Structure 1
């Protein structure tokens, strides 16, 4: 039977496979949208990818998701760099996409901060949108700046993952340093949520772990590189898999082979009162607060045999030294040989008739309720414990959440606490535990034996049962691994815990639970590489990544 001729330009049966091959598949269409789609759509995709990335942080710990979301950001930046030459023309669109990614990440990861503004809602609820959206908008500036800077070092091929990781790690360092710093949810905590991976921080610190996280989890973008050989597409993710497997196996070996003893003659008790935040600062509730603390502390058969009792940050709605009745209660509670270590506000008189300075402090009291050691907070929380331009903003009617007139005063330097019966303790009050560089510098500044434990007290009841306390605990635990020191952590509503120097939880009181935790104090390990030399190893790796990226960039600019 005779067939009708096909119209001119139509593909015959033998032409269809070639036409189908030329038609992009789902991966190709996705790549085309990420690299060449309308900018508004790409910005929305960046925002969504950043929000999904927050699921890598506690309490979800879904770090493999970043192996999907970071490649999205890389492909978006690929498109910007390809269509904007010279590189300076790519800075603005790259900044916008990086900012959108950061905005999604920080809103999804830090929304719980808004809960603090509902504790005293009549005064502070109107500020909640500024915290929930304003703080992420500021923090996202660093992600945007990092993305823009990447355009100056954005070669074709695998080297761009190294440049991306190095520059974004530098951006994270800036975020944790400038304007007092806020390194909360550094990207490195994605891998750090796995205790095997976290062991690498004893060498690299969180900064080095951030570099590894970004380089390895961004590498799957190579699978979608156009016109590349199979080896060049598969090589980067395979290399990343080898690095991650090596870190995981090395961490597992360390956990299996490091033996941690306990300090002889020390029995700790951590008291977690789970006191509602709206009662914690009411002076008229002071007797009820003391009743709760004493009853909870004695709830596990009394305090006989307990050498050290720990209470959380800002434990009292009053200044302890000015309350004889409270001191008498403590004398009646503490048996001989038991030391109470508690958070408390502390007054210090100042000359010339000026109002006394108020410190957020740790106090150690003997069984006669005499103060035998103190430590004051060094790194205060902006808008929580003090206002920038304090007098000016107070004159306008603003006040910090803690409602201390004039704000808290900051100690000049972090000093170890010498508490009878314990090794020297490095005090970390509340979010001071999220600043690893300050801990390293403090550890090196003392002309004394090395500290034997990290002592972290906090009051996360501001944030209720949200992801915030879980994130705070994981960051404090990372400090223990970095330093090779045990962590004793007492909080108001959780998470209170004793953690050994490789990050294993010896005992824990979960979030939202009232009770006590008894346990021995783990011994410190020999000084870790990170504790000895800080970020030297991670800085060397970062410099190497930048060098390789710059070398590859030269070839790119010549059109290779």
Structure 2
């Protein structure tokens, strides 16, 4: 049997041959991620993961752990290199300043992230049963490692393995019940099930795991069909949103000398006619601009606020990303600077603000000692603020006149399942302002949008997403795109606001359902089928 020969080659592989197999198998998983979303490809990385652990042999538990750990590291390194290669584009925006750091983003970060699947492989090997049970052990250990990756050292839950299934809208609906990490359990188990075809001693030993994988996949799809209504989501009455996507080059966006020109460009673009019946901002209730829209502090630039107030028709509210200065603290030489969302009325008055809580390490802030070290040797960090941005004190909701209460998410904050909704009364929608212009025409912005969309499914809340270079979109509570502007396009988008859906089980219980499934997978892994 051809598959048996492939399994034998992987299991018996050694040295650099085994490392290359693991690297290639892991890298293939990126094909199942946006923008390709070839979700059936999950079979390749997950099936090979089983065989790689099968081949982690040794005379002691420690030696078997080390062998599996090494295979898992190469497997993970391949996955993260292939899934995060686009990070290199950010270092080329101002290559004279940041090219020195490119190896940190495209090699060192994947090398570090690969430690998580490495430990998952190692601990899976210690509990490795014979037969089909090992599929469930692998799923449990990889899902647990992904949960840890999303939380350790502030977390980096980008391209969690469950995203391999999330590109198919019906399969993604399961996130409303079990969340991204629960989806990861099923993605790994379904993808790994064919491994038994290459190693089972009897035909009956290979049929049951495949049958269960098919039933699980069909069940996920059927749940999605049942959950999603056929009719479009109803809209909030009296709301007409205008999303402005300027597609501004990243090097111009942070040029302090371009502030006035950038503001005029935003105002001109925002006032474009979108149809013969909608000239300019006529009929619009809320105008929304992307993250970090200006190379100046909006709240400390009265001329800009006056210009905005003069340009807004009566009763039109602007919601925009902007840097915000906080109160000066005793003993400090400058006020804290926040990456914020600000609400501006038609008189040019800032009515409300939200400060980003979950900052991007090394991108938006550095520990003071590292900041001094980098500047001491004449290098720069991405944010041209000594020490970077300050973090907001707490995740809060944002009150905007004429809209349901918003759950604001600035850029990176949208990738954290279970952390996107503030405590207290439920918000009416997610407001995600972002700037993916650092990453150009790569897969990064597609991945970012897909993760934000999955938050809508998990929580049952619509999403309004405005990005500098795209993808800007309005998404309903089931993850269906109502309207969108593609990546790399300048334009405006008019849309209504979908109503919130019912509270989801995941919205109520968070990752507790995932924890229960994790224990069930480990418990059932001890039952042995004929192999």
Runs of at least 4 residues off by over 4 Å: none
Find the aligned partners of 1:164 and 1:425 in 2 and give their Cα distance.
39
Deviations 1:413-470 (A, max 9, x none): 1000011111110010001000012125x2xx22xx3100000000000000100000
- The answer as to whether partners of 2:4 and 2:197 remain within 8 angstroms in 1 is no
Deviations 1:101-151 (A, max 9, x none): 111111111011011111111111111112100110010010111111101
Helix, strand or coil at the partner of 1:256: coil
Shift in alpha-carbon separation, 1:242–1:551, aligned structure 2, 3 A: closer
Cα offset, 1:391, TM superposition: 4.6
Deviations 1:220-252 (A, max 9, x none): 00111142x212112111210111011112202
Find the aligned partners of 2:297 and 2:11 in 1 and give their Cα distance.
60
2:276 maps to none
Find the aligned partners of 1:34 and 1:493 in 2 and give their Cα distance.
43
1:430 maps to 411
Find the aligned partners of 1:353 and 1:332 in 2 and give their Cα distance.
39
Answer yes or no: is 1:285 the counterpart of 2:236: no
Answer yes or no: is 1:322 the counterpart of 2:300: yes
- The answer as to whether partners of 1:393 and 1:399 remain within 8 angstroms in 2 is no
Report the more deviating stretch, 131-140 or 65-74: 65-74
Identify the match of residue 371 of structure 1 among 350, 367, 371: 350
Answer yes or no: is 1:415 the counterpart of 2:368: no
Helix, strand or coil at the partner of 1:437: coil
Helix, strand or coil at the partner of 1:363: strand
Find the aligned partners of 2:4 and 2:29 in 1 and give their Cα distance.
23
Helix, strand or coil at the partner of 2:358: coil
Find the aligned partners of 1:351 and 1:536 in 2 and give their Cα distance.
40
Helix, strand or coil at the partner of 1:326: helix
Structure 2 runs not aligned, ≥5 long: 274-278
Within 5 Å, which residues of 2 pair with 1:465-504?
Answer: 465-504=441-480
- The answer as to whether partners of 2:371 and 2:386 remain within 8 angstroms in 1 is no
Cα offset, 1:535, TM superposition: 1.3
Answer yes or no: is 1:94 the counterpart of 2:68: yes
- The answer as to whether partners of 2:5 and 2:198 remain within 8 angstroms in 1 is no
Find the aligned partners of 1:91 and 1:297 in 2 and give their Cα distance.
58
2:192 maps to 218
Cα offset, 1:324, TM superposition: 2.4
Find the aligned partners of 1:334 and 1:430 in 2 and give their Cα distance.
26
Find the aligned partners of 1:307 and 1:256 in 2 and give their Cα distance.
28
- The answer as to whether partners of 2:328 and 2:335 remain within 8 angstroms in 1 is yes
Structure 1 runs not aligned, ≥5 long: 1-24
Find the aligned partners of 1:408 and 1:356 in 2 and give their Cα distance.
11
Answer yes or no: is 1:345 the counterpart of 2:345: no
Give the TM-score normalised by the residue count of structure 1: 0.91
Answer yes or no: is 1:506 the counterpart of 2:482: yes
Give the TM-score normalised by the residue count of structure 2: 0.96
Deviations 1:21-65 (A, max 9, x none): xxxx53333222111122321111000011111111000101111
- The answer as to whether partners of 1:387 and 1:393 remain within 8 angstroms in 2 is no
Identify the match of residue 520 of structure 2 among 526, 544, 558: 544
1:382 maps to 361
Deviations 1:523-546 (A, max 9, x none): 001211100111122211111111
Matched residues, number: 523
Find the aligned partners of 2:351 and 2:241 in 1 and give their Cα distance.
18
1:360 maps to 339
Within 5 Å, which residues of 2 pair with 1:294-333?
Answer: 294-300=267-273, 301-333=279-311
Cα offset, 1:70, TM superposition: 1.1
Helix, strand or coil at the partner of 2:114: helix
Larger Rg: 1
Answer yes or no: is 1:30 the counterpart of 2:9: no
Cα offset, 1:390, TM superposition: 4.5
- The answer as to whether partners of 2:307 and 2:348 remain within 8 angstroms in 1 is no
